[in-house]
Amino acid sequence: MEIIVVKDYLAVSRLAATLLARQIKAKPDSVLGLPTGRTPEAMYKKLVELFSKGVLTFDQVCTFNLDDYVGLDQSHPDSYYSYMKKNLFSLVNLRAENIYFPNGDSADLADECADYERSIDSVGGIDLLILGIGHNGHLGFCEPGTSFASKTHLVDLSEDTRTINKELMSELNEVPERAISMGIGTMLKARSIILLASGSSKRDALKAALSGPVTESVPASVLQTHPDVIVIMDDAASLD
């Protein structure tokens, strides 16, 4: 695991975008795993800038998002799909058929989860997975206690997560109780992983994940077992 500490949030985002762009240039048909949340917003902005300048194309890129809420139509302003549409999908030349998303509004959620796994396998697996980290060490929506072997599955969100994510809701007064999330086992199959973290509120979660024991009670601690992980954090999030 390589840990890179940079000055601030902007530097985290810039470096993440640079590494992502490098991946796409080396393999134009890269399969990316993508997160939502506050942390990756500036990274997406930077990627859109690179696309607008003509230095980066998403023409052959394939994307899989980590998660979405159950019960929200993708067009709902509080769905993660809407977040991605606003921050990336509508601003670059990704092909609609290359954008994969767990549909939390599916009539058969178990089938949706199994289908998502099959889709990842059908394109040869994820080349580069970008992750954020929750305050409780969660990855995607894999909350503490999630099996390290888990595949894409339905999640009962913790009260902590629901409280924190409430600030991000534009229309809903309450965060949905359930979500679909890529599993930890699914994430571990990605060939390389970049974890992004910014701000002092992530310090404890990072400390537990990077220097504590590898345990299912801290989902992100599993990253210690993956052969190709880069952690990019800013001074404020840093352990020292």
Q: Return the active site residues.
A: 67, 136, 138, 143
What is residue 178's three-state secondary structure?
Answer: strand
Give the span between the Cα atoms of 217 and 227, in whole angstroms: 21
Q: How many residues bind ligand GLP (CB under 6 A)?
A: 14
Start-to-end CA distance of the chain, whole Å, equals 17
Q: Does 39 bind ligand GLP (CB under 6 A)?
A: yes
The piece of 11-19, 96-104, 129-137, 211-219 that touches ligand GLP (CB under 6 A) is 129-137
Q: Within 13 A of 93's CA, how many CA atoms are on the CB side? A: 13
Cβ of residue 108: shortest distance to ligand GLP, in angstroms?
22
Cβ of residue 51: shortest distance to ligand GLP, in angstroms?
22
Site residues for ligand GLP, 174-233, by CB under 6 A, read none
b vs e for 52-87, b when ≥16 Cβ sit within 10 Å of the residue's Cβ? eeeebebeebbbbbbbbbbebeeebebbbbbbbbeb
Other C-beta atoms closer than 10 Å to the C-beta of 47 total: 24
Q: Does 137 bind ligand GLP (CB under 6 A)?
A: no
The piece of 35-43, 56-64, 105-113, 184-192 that touches ligand GLP (CB under 6 A) is 35-43
Place of tokens 């210690």: 224
Answer for which of 37, 137, 176, 183 binds ligand GLP (CB under 6 A) is 37
Answer for which of 33, 102, 134, 219 binds ligand GLP (CB under 6 A) is 134
The piece of 31-39, 44-52, 82-90, 228-236 that touches ligand GLP (CB under 6 A) is 31-39
Cβ of residue 191: shortest distance to ligand GLP, in angstroms?
20
Burial status of residue 151 (CB atoms within 10 A of its CB: 0-12, 13-18, 19 or more): middle
Cβ of residue 168: shortest distance to ligand GLP, in angstroms?
7
Give the span between the Cα atoms of 134 and 87, in whole angstroms: 20
Strands 99-100 and 229-234: unpaired
Answer for which of 102, 104, 137, 140 binds ligand GLP (CB under 6 A) is 140
Other C-beta atoms closer than 10 Å to the C-beta of 41 total: 16
Site string for ligand GLP, 57-86 (x = CB under 6 A): ---------xx-------------------
Answer for which of 22, 38, 86, 95 binds ligand GLP (CB under 6 A) is 38
Catalog residues that contact ligand GLP under the rule CB under 6 A: 35-39, 66-67, 132-134, 140-141, 161, 165
